[in-house]
């Protein structure tokens, strides 16, 4: 199976407030994006020649309008950006999770998938642990493991992100192995896809990994994980879509911004172009 994931981060904030959104008012943004891409996604899915899933991860406020805009039977799946490490349960807790987004809450909203372990989430958790004086490098992975388990128990599929920072490159095998083995311990892996993020290469002016490096990483991740699907999470774009499609050990990609110069931001028609380039249709 091929996978086209879309992480819309906080692209809903208007440009006038420091964001990148120029395509729709925030209150209409999630539904607008779904309405603009769903017909194109259906055509891509029909033309791809193999089973392909299309998942878009939205900030929570946009989940309901996005689901309302989705046509019945359309292959677009709606997901959320992270879940809490605990949840409601009969005889346990019926809702005392103020400020936290639980897996069963987003499942009740009709989400089908969740993004867990993105480098931005990892950095946030590591920062909190540092403030608490925790130096155990596996602690973040243990917290993420609890999130993955809650998501799978609630019936969500998971895109689980891993990746090494610049200071970790010399021991990348050790870092990725820990993220996989600890983060996915005791998890039904059939419900999980792994996204590899080269954290050391993310940001303006940095050189992205080449085909050889991505191939090496993907093959290692498959070896450690027991053959799980692996997608490139460093950004599926117009300029790398065809290259990534040529790597047998890569099973898809994660799209974020579609335009990096001029009026930077996410544009639905460019998302469809990138997906089409990767799928060769």
Catalytic residue chosen out of the listed positions 118, 121, 147, 164: 118
For residues 228 and 186, what is the distance between their CA atoms, to the nearest angstrom? 15
On whether the CB atoms of residues 231 and 193 are closer than 8 A, the answer is yes
Q: H helices then E strands: how many in the chain?
A: 9, 8
Q: In the annotation, is 197 catalytic?
A: yes
List, as own/partner pairs, every contact residues 17-21 make where C-beta atoms lie below 8 angstroms and the sequence separation is at least 24, other chains included. 20/257, 20/264, 20/265, 20/266, 21/265
Six token digits for residue 139: 């602690």
Based on the residue annotation, tell me whether 112 is a catalytic residue of this protein: no
The C-alpha R_g of the chain, in whole angstroms, comes to 18
Question: Which residues, other chains included, contact 40 with Cβ-Cβ below 8 Å and sequence gap of 6+?
Answer: 268, 269, 272
Specify whether the CB–CB gap between 55 and 112 falls below 8 A. Answer: yes
Evaluate whether 187 touches 222 at the Cβ level (below 8 Å).
Answer: no
DSSP-derived letter for residue 233 is -
How many angstroms separate the CA atoms of 29 and 65, rounded?
8
Which of 53, 121, 164, 197 is flagged as catalytic? 197
Of 214, 147, 220, the closest CA to residue 178 belongs to 220
Residues labelled catalytic: 118, 197
């Amino acid at each position: 199976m091929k996978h086209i994931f879309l992480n819309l981060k906080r692209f809903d904030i208007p440009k006038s407030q420091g964001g990148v959104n120029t395509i729709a008012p925030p209150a209409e943004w999630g539904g607008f994006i779904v309405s603009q891409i769903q017909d194109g996604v259906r055509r891509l899915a029909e033309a791809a020649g193999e089973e392909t899933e299309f998942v878009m991860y939205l900030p929570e406020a946009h989940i309901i309008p996005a689901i309302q805009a989705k046509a019945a039977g359309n292959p677009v799946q709606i997901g959320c950006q992270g879940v809490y490490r605990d949840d409601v349960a009969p005889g346990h807790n019926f809702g005392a999770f103020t400020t936290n987004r639980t897996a069963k809450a987003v499942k009740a909203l009709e989400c089908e998938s969740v993004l867990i372990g993105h480098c931005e989430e990892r950095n946030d958790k590591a920062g909190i642990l540092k403030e608490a004086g925790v130096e155990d490098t596996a602690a973040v992975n243990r917290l993420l493991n609890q999130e993955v388990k809650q998501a799978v128990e609630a019936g969500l599929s998971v895109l689980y992100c891993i990746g090494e920072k610049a200071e970790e490159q010399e021991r990348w095998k050790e870092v990725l192995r820990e993220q996989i083995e600890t983060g996915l311990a005791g998890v039904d892996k059939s419900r999980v896809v792994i996204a590899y993020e080269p954290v050391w290469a993310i940001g303006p002016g940095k050189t992205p990994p080449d085909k050889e490096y991505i191939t090496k990483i993907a093959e290692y991740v498959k070896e450690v994980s027991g053959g799980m699907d692996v997608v490139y999470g460093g950004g599926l774009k117009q300029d790398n879509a065809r290259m990534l499609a040529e790597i047998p050990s890569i099973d898809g990609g994660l799209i974020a911004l579609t335009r990096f110069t001029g009026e930077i931001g996410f544009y639905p028609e460019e998302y469809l172009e990138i997906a089409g380039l990767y799928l060769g249709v």
